[in-house]
Amino acid sequence: MAVLELNKDNFDETIQNNDIVILDFWAPWCGPCKQFAPTYEAMSEKIDGVTFAKINTEDEQELGGRFQIRSIPTLMIFREQIAIFSQ
């Protein structure tokens, strides 16, 4: 499965309609984000039953603020609409 691009319009629907969602909060200027992106993309192709998505914190500042994202890259995992991990 390809990595989904999330924004404020499709975020809630994605979380509600998928049992497990892994989010990557990133920004285009972030070097570590760019290094991590190919690994994240490869994992999305290998793991079934998990939705992989990313949120550009530059474009989606409201979502970054909603989850108090202070550094990037940040990964967050939702299981059955509950955030169970953030680092």
Catalytic residue among 6, 15, 33, 69: 33
pTM of structure: 0.93
- Examine the residue annotation and report whether 24 is marked as an active-site residue of this protein: no
- Examine the residue annotation and report whether 58 is marked as an active-site residue of this protein: no
Catalytic residue among 27, 30, 37, 50: 30
Query: Does domain 4-76 sit in CATH 3.30.830.10?
Result: no
pLDDT digits (tens, 9 = 90+) for 30-81: 999 999 999 999 999 999 999 999 999 999 999 999 999 999 999 999 999 9
pLDDT digits (tens, 9 = 90+) for 40-54: 999 999 999 999 999
Domain ranges (residues) in the chain: 4-76
Q: Phi first, then psi: what are they for 26, rounded to 5°?
A: -145, 175
Round to whole Å and give the CA distance between 43 and 54: 13
The per-residue pLDDT for 43 is: 96
